[in-house]
Amino acid sequence: MTSRLSSILGHRAWLWACGLWLAACLAFYVGCYQGLFFHQAQEQLFLLTPSYVATYFSAPAWLSCLAGDFLTQFYYYRYAGPLILVAALALVALAARAALSRLGAGRLHALTALIVLAESVLTLHYATRLSSVLSLAGGLALFAAMPWRGRPSLSAAVQMLAIPLCFWLFGFGAMVLAALVLADVLMERRQMTLRLIALALPVACLGMARRCYLMELGPMLAYPGACHLVTSPADALTIEKNFRVAAEYQFGNLNRVVRMVDADAHHTDVQLFYYNLAMARRGQLPEAVMRHMPTFLGTLGRIGPQTPHFVIWGMDELYWALGDMTFCERAAIMSSVFTRSNRNIFKVRRLAEVNLVTGDTLAARKYLRLLGHTHVAGRWADRLLRADSAAMRPYMAKRQWINRIDTLRQTDRAHDILTELLQSNPDNRLALDYLLCTDLMAKDLRQFVADYLRFGADAWRGRQLPELYQQAFCLALSVQKAPPSEWPHYVSDPAIRRRFDAYCRERGHRNFSDTYWYYFDKSKIRK
């Protein structure tokens, strides 16, 4: 055993190289790729119950999927994801080296390095699950563990059994195993016919598993996802930015969201969506909405099956913050369905929260009982199931902001939703800022003035309007040719008035690119 292990570990140089590469991976994951781990942690609802565990047998690769999903739930904790994934890659490295050494392959180190390198690259894709890495390791390890050399007939018998077993345990790992067996057959060249038949038969039989697993052949043989390759590093980093900003927001790190976006030169819609939401929760949406242009509020589009996944992903956060529980539930359900297993732990948590706020106790308890079996949300759910008053407090407080109009909504225009929220609760400042900013970003000045007069006049009575709104009023009042006496009611800052006069003389000049006037004249509306 010791000699076998030492032969696997082999040269110290190889160990060093491998260790350095894994350390580099760890550093990269920690420094640049944390968002992906948090995203993957959410993409499941792993329940530690026998009946849930039993569901893993309804698909190939139950062992790697079970182990992978079990470990993935710990990705929720900062640094746990990188450590687990690097450990899995180390497992791949060891198994690859053991398998290749078994094969007697030349250029052993180079081939092992290639496998580890390739797998490391694949992990950059957000759809590459930990179970995929474990499936590869499983296929390699099983090959290494098989008794072979010198006994071709025994090898034939073993491979007949090993390939289906490997498929059952490790899914596409069986294809890796089959490839290695084929290589071994071709290299050994003894009783080739027998061994090739013994290889072809179980591989062909795997096709029949389709009936058992009710899957298409390609996805079944590649289960749980053999090869998701990042096509463009820039795209991967963009997606990572989205994951990271979403994660920080969900952790409640609003300052970090703001810092992260302010420090970035190239913003994504998702980043700006969370940025605006974070600033709105601080009561600073009017100050922030035009800071990074073109901005993205998320209120100019509509929720539906065609809405991009990343947008839907965050919609429940927006409507949760605004207080519209119907749309929050709808968005949470939709993003949960768009999740790989249709079960997203954070969205299920949101569903529980929505029902706690609306007072639908039966439904809330349904979700809480589910979450009670999870590692991450279990304690939180248990407290709420016990109706712990401290745990319930934020939801009771939230209840005052919900929409109290009880009617069938005939559109899903955010403007209508925001209006309804303000009709129910005129003090809903977040909804008011979103309403006015939505009007402005849609360049609908008439609607802006109407909405301000309807909902905003009281909110700012006796106080100066935010600069953005004053700038908008400059435009609106000048379009309306309002008498000079009316201007100070809305544009109380003389500097803004003076700057507007200057803008009117140099309309569209880049010196005014930070103003609403410039946006109104020069920019396209983002939906």
Subset of residues 11 to 50 that bind another protein, contact rule: CB under 8 A: 45, 47, 49-50
* Sole residue written with tokens 């062992």: 63
* Sole residue written with tokens 């790697």: 64
Judged by CB under 8 A, does residue 400 bind another protein? no
Minimum gap (Å) between residue 302 Cβ and another protein: 11
Minimum gap (Å) between residue 285 Cβ and another protein: 23
Minimum gap (Å) between residue 50 Cβ and another protein: 8
* Window of 30-38, 180-188, 400-408, 466-474 that interacts with another protein by CB under 8 A: 400-408
Q: How many residues does the chain have?
A: 527
Q: Give the residue among 162, 186, 187, 157 at the shortest CA–CA distance from 176.
A: 162
Judged by CB under 8 A, does residue 327 bind another protein? yes
Minimum gap (Å) between residue 511 Cβ and another protein: 45
- Contact residue for another protein among 28, 168, 338, 487 (CB under 8 A): 338
Judged by CB under 8 A, does residue 428 bind another protein? no
* Window of 108-116, 362-370, 494-502, 513-521 that interacts with another protein by CB under 8 A: 362-370
**Encoded tokens for 76:** 């929720």
Judged by CB under 8 A, does residue 415 bind another protein? no
Minimum gap (Å) between residue 173 Cβ and another protein: 19
**Encoded tokens for 328:** 């929050």
Peptide linkage before 164 cis (omega within 30 of 0): no
Q: How far apart are the first and last CA of the chain?
A: 63
* Window of 171-179, 318-326, 432-440, 507-515 that interacts with another protein by CB under 8 A: 318-326
Judged by CB under 8 A, does residue 168 bind another protein? no
Subset of residues 202 to 221 that bind another protein, contact rule: CB under 8 A: 210-211, 213-216, 219
- Contact residue for another protein among 342, 464, 480, 511 (CB under 8 A): 342
DSSP output for 138-207: HHHHHHHHS--TT-HHHHHHHHHHHHHHHHHHHTTHHHHHHHHHHHHHHHH-SSHHHHHHHHHHHHHHHT
Burial 161-177 (b: 16+ CB within 10 A, else e): ebbbebbbbbbbbbbbb
Rounded distance between C-alpha atoms, residue 512 and residue 445, angstroms:
19
Judged by CB under 8 A, does residue 299 bind another protein? no
DSSP output for 329-373: HHHHHHHHHTSTTS--HHHHHHHHHHHHHHT-HHHHHHHHHHHTT
**Encoded tokens for 517:** 């006037």
Q: Which is nearer to another protein, 183 or 215 (CB)?
A: 215
**Encoded tokens for 448:** 């802006």
Q: Which is nearer to another protein, 240 or 420 (CB)?
A: 420
Q: Which is nearer to another protein, 35 or 372 (CB)?
A: 372
Tell me the per-residue interface mask from 45 to 74 with another protein, x by CB under 8 A, - otherwise: x-x-xxxx------x---------------
* Window of 134-142, 270-278, 323-331, 489-497 that interacts with another protein by CB under 8 A: 323-331
Rounded distance between C-alpha atoms, residue 135 and residue 119, angstroms:
11
Query: Angle at which helices 62-72 and 152-170 pack, to 10 degrees?
Result: 40
Subset of residues 461 to 500 that bind another protein, contact rule: CB under 8 A: none
By CB under 8 A, the count of residues binding another protein is 53
- Contact residue for another protein among 228, 409, 522, 526 (CB under 8 A): 409
Region of 79 (left: φ > 0; alpha: ψ -120 to 50; beta: rest) is left
Q: Which is nearer to another protein, 425 or 478 (CB)?
A: 425
- Contact residue for another protein among 370, 441, 476, 491 (CB under 8 A): 370
- For 386, other C-beta atoms within 10 Å of its C-beta total 11
- Contact residue for another protein among 341, 400, 480, 511 (CB under 8 A): 341
Rounded distance between C-alpha atoms, residue 503 and residue 522, angstroms:
13
Query: Angle at which helices 62-72 and 80-103 pack, to 10 degrees?
Result: 150
Q: How far does Cα 149 stand from its chain's mean position?
A: 47
What is the Cβ-side half-sphere exposure of residue 11, based on CA atoms within 13 angstroms?
A: 10
* Window of 31-39, 319-327, 437-445, 480-488 that interacts with another protein by CB under 8 A: 319-327
**Encoded tokens for 44:** 């499941």
- Contact residue for another protein among 109, 228, 373, 383 (CB under 8 A): 373
* Window of 243-251, 289-297, 397-405, 491-499 that interacts with another protein by CB under 8 A: 397-405
- Residues of this chain that interact with another protein (CB under 8 A) are 45, 47, 49-52, 59, 210-211, 213-216, 219, 304-305, 324-327, 329-330, 333-334, 336-338, 341-343, 348, 358-360, 362-363, 365-366, 369-370, 373, 402-410, 412, 417, 420
